[in-house]
Amino acid sequence: MGRAGAGAVSRRAVLVVPVGLAVLAVSEVLLRGGDLAGGFAALLLLALATTVPLPFVLRTGTGRLARGGAAVAISAACVLSLVPFGMLTVGGVVAQLVCVYVLGRAGATALGGLFVLPYVVIALAGHEDPTRIVAVLVATLASAAAATGIAHHVRSTALAHSVTEQAFADTLLEHAARGERARIARELHDVVAHHISMIAVQAETARLTTPGLPAEGATRLLAIGDTARTALTEMRRLLGVLREDAHTGVQRRPQPGLRQLMELVDESRDAAGSRTRLIVSGPVTMLDPGIEVTAYRIVQEALTNARRHAPGAAVDVELRYGNADLTVRVRDNGPGQPATHDSGHGLLGMRERAATVGGTLRTGSAPGGGFLVEARLPVNPDDDEEAPA
């Protein structure tokens, strides 16, 4: 019957059902008026009494006392109509069954069962056959109605408990996840960040204290120190994301995207001391942030690999905007030895990044020499088209 709760009935039904049952009960008394003699007026009042209080039972906002009182009035009117006069209208029977069902569904199982008891007593008290038959019929139907209401109540209670338990489990899981993120943040801060800062310090110390260091070596050490400090800054941002409960003291910045790619190319050019170009083709459009940060990280890693494995080589970074995908190509004119470039976890990390957004990554020797990293990232991740490997 919806989410209104046990025994919830629409406002229209609260009025229409009792009125309909009252009309049915009164009509039945009027049709049998010739057979009732002096009890006609009393039966007419009892017929109304068995149906008129029903809205107080059906209405969801009714308190327990008012609902129980209305149910008692209906049940008493039904019993008084059956025992002295030997007649119980169909409307009265339906009203009695509705009362027992609603009380059972609302959780008042004892009160619902109490209303079945008078009919059992009437059936066993040796009344005339018509009265006994009606009493047995009402007792049977009322027991079934009460059982149905109780079953609905048990089911709704179990569902409510299940929802509560699920919410509690989700809360515990979220707390556990936050604790794990805090632990990872501590490990990154205490171990990894320390070592990266030591790299920056040692590179700077070596550059300033090594006698007879060539200019090229000093440039390389300066680039190592700058790269370490950049990595330290990125790690601080990551720590700010992991420590959700530490909103102060951590500077948070948006994830980098393609608009920051020119800065990345300039930094790579200055660090490597070689020619690095950015080539853009196709209509430039705003892409999903996940696609942009993936493309940025792939270019970042590819430039790092080029500086490491092909020092001094010229590098071309190309972005090709298409209708279905974004093609990212990073090509250097170095020796192009796949075995050298494949060492470490750089290429694996790039493949995993591309796969997370539904894209693909191809690496290997470039036509005409050098090494090529090419990623194809879908502009719309929901598309079913797959970029060729």
Per-residue pLDDT tens for 264-284? 888 888 776 778 899 999 898
pLDDT at 8: 43
Q: Is there a contact between 14 and 59 (Cβ–Cβ < 8 Å)?
A: yes
Angle between the N-to-C axes of helices 289-309 and 346-356, in degrees from 0 to 180, rounded to the nearest 10: 170
- Taking alpha carbons only, the member of 156, 148, 141 closest to residue 88 is 141
Model confidence at 295, pLDDT cuts 50, 70, 90, reads very high
**pLDDT more than 90, % of the chain:** 9
pLDDT at 38: 54
Taking the CA atoms of 95, 96, 101 and 107 in sequence, report the sign of the dihedral they define: positive
Q: Is the model's pLDDT at 9 over the cut of 60?
A: no
pLDDT at 127: 60
Q: Is there a contact between 52 and 17 (Cβ–Cβ < 8 Å)?
A: no
pLDDT at 54: 82
Q: Is the model's pLDDT at 345 over the cut of 50?
A: yes
Q: What is the chain's mean pLDDT, rounded?
A: 78
For the segment 120-134, the average pLDDT, to the nearest whole number, is: 77
Q: Is the model's pLDDT at 81 over the cut of 70?
A: yes
pLDDT at 385: 40
pLDDT at 306: 84
pLDDT at 206: 83
Model confidence at 328, pLDDT cuts 50, 70, 90, reads very high
pLDDT at 298: 92
**Can you tell me the distance from the alpha carbon of 12 to that of 20, in angstroms, rounded to the nearest whole number?**
12
Q: Please tell me which residue, 33 or 295, carries the higher pLDDT value.
A: 295
Task: Name the 3-class secondary structure at 358.
Answer: coil
H or E element in which residue 316 lies: strand 315-321
AA letter at 257: G
Question: 258-378: which CATH number, 1.10.10.60, 3.10.110.10, 3.40.50.300, 3.30.565.10?
Answer: 3.30.565.10
As beta bridge partners, residue 159 has none
As beta bridge partners, residue 364 has 372
* Interval 175-228: pLDDT, tens: 777 777 777 776 666 667 767 777 877 887 888 888 888 888 888 888 888 888
Task: Name the 3-class secondary structure at 330.
Answer: strand
Q: Please tell me which residue, 34 or 355, carries the higher pLDDT value.
A: 355
**Can you tell me the distance from the alpha carbon of 80 to that of 118, in angstroms, rounded to the nearest whole number?**
11
Task: Name the 3-class secondary structure at 363.
Answer: strand
Q: Where are the alpha helices (DSSP H) in 243-383?
A: 261-272, 289-309, 338-341, 346-356
Task: Name the 3-class secondary structure at 378.
Answer: strand
Find tokens 């050098």 and name the residue: 370
How many beta carbons lie within 10 A of that of residue 312, not counting itself?
14
**Can you tell me the distance from the alpha carbon of 30 to that of 8, in angstroms, rounded to the nearest whole number?**
33
pLDDT at 60: 67
Q: Is the model's pLDDT at 28 over the cut of 70?
A: yes
For the segment 255-271, the average pLDDT, to the nearest whole number, is: 83
- Tell me the DSSP string of 58-126: H-TT--HHHHHHHHHHHHHHHHHHHTTTS---HHHHHHHHHHHHHHHHTT-HHHHHHHHHHHHHHHHTT
Find tokens 């009714």 and name the residue: 62
Q: Give the strands of the sheet with 315-321, arranged side by side.
A: 276-281, 315-321, 325-332, 371-378, 360-365
Question: Which residues lie below 8 Å from residue 62, measured CB to CB, with a gap of 6+?
Answer: 56, 70
Q: Is the model's pLDDT at 383 over the cut of 60?
A: no
Q: Is the model's pLDDT at 374 over the cut of 90?
A: yes
* Interval 43-65: pLDDT, tens: 788 888 888 888 888 776 667 78
Tokens of 175: 């707390």
AA letter at 289: P
pLDDT at 24: 82
H or E element in which residue 174 lies: helix 129-187
Query: Residue ranges of the domains in the chain?
Result: 11-166, 258-378
For the segment 345-369, the average pLDDT, to the nearest whole number, is: 84
Q: How many CA atoms does the CB half-sphere of 237 hold within 13 Å? A: 11
- Residue 18, exposed/middle/buried by CB under 10 A (0-12, 13-18, 19+)? buried
Q: Where are the alpha helices (DSSP H) in 188-248?
A: 193-209, 215-242
**Can you tell me the distance from the alpha carbon of 342 to that of 337, in angstroms, rounded to the nearest whole number?**
9
Please provide residue 280's backbone torsions phi and psi, each rounded to the nearest 5 degrees.
-120, 130
Q: Is the model's pLDDT at 69 over the cut of 60?
A: yes
Task: Indicate whether this model's pTM tops 0.85.
Answer: no
